[in-house]
């Protein structure tokens, strides 16, 4: 009986019923669409972090985490070689590399901006990260290359510099002494990761170890896993 009354009511007030159904359907459609868009944005953000900042796994000194925002150089992995050697033997590991992250002031001799320095190993960085593929202008480092930098496109625009120009990095070493490096821009990076494009300067790992008094130490070991 109730079913018959409900069925008759639908057709008795067809226009009102149709508009109500249409409003609910449109609302559900937009909710599903927005959820899909947000999920896609989240996934892209995770992919950028993995491809340019951390890899799938990042290893660092136990005390480093407590002061990670300041990128302390004195809380480093002093002997990364044996760790990297063991990791490369793992059947689930696709690639391993190491980096040094450090605070800098970047200057063109007139203006200066705070930024993050990233020292990377040209030999095996590509095994974990996609920096090499993100060089939009110029070239990536060659193995054992020194005295050059890669600059995020946002920083390059802010300073008005291009490939071949020179920039100065002002920083402090592991032992808190001041260091200044005049380096030639070898490439411009376009990663779509704002932390790289607008706030990062990349230098060769050998130059980073030497100029920051790190010895053989690094601040992190990064791992890419197999699919």
pLDDT at 4: 56
pLDDT at 24: 77
Locate the DSSP E strands across 108-177: 112-120, 135-138, 148-152, 166-172
- For the chain, give the mean pLDDT: 88
- Write the pLDDT tens digit of every residue in 156-172: 999 999 999 999 999 99
State the CB neighbour count (10 A cutoff) for residue 28.
10
How does residue 47 score in pLDDT terms, banded at 50, 70 and 90? confident
Look up the pTM and report it.
0.82
Question: At residue 17, does pLDDT exceed 90?
Answer: no
205 membership: H or E segment, kind and range: helix 205-211
């Amino acid at each position: 009986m109730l079913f018959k009354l409900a069925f008759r009511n639908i057709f008795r007030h067809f226009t009102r019923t149709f508009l109500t159904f249409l409003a609910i359907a449109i609302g559900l459609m937009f909710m599903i669409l927005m959820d899909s868009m947000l999920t896609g944005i989240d996934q892209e953000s995770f992919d950028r972090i993995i491809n340019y900042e951390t890899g799938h796994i990042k290893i660092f000194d136990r005390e480093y985490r407590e002061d990670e925002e300041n990128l302390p150089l004195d809380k480093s992995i002093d002997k990364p070689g044996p760790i990297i050697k063991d990791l490369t033997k793992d059947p689930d590991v696709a690639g391993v590399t190491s980096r040094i992250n450090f605070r800098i002031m970047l200057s063109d001799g007139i203006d200066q901006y705070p930024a993050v320095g990233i020292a990377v190993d040209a030999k095996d960085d590509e095994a974990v990260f996609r920096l090499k593929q993100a060089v939009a202008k110029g070239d990536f480092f060659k193995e054992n290359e020194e005295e050059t930098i890669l600059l995020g496109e946002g920083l390059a625009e802010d300073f008005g510099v291009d490939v071949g120009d020179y920039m100065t990095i002002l920083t402090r070493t592991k032992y808190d002494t001041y260091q200044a490096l005049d380096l030639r821009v070898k490439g411009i990076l376009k990663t779509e990761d704002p932390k790289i494009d607008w706030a990062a300067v990349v230098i060769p790992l050998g130059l980073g170890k030497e100029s920051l008094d790190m010895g053989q130490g690094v601040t992190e070991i990064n791992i890419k896993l197999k699919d």
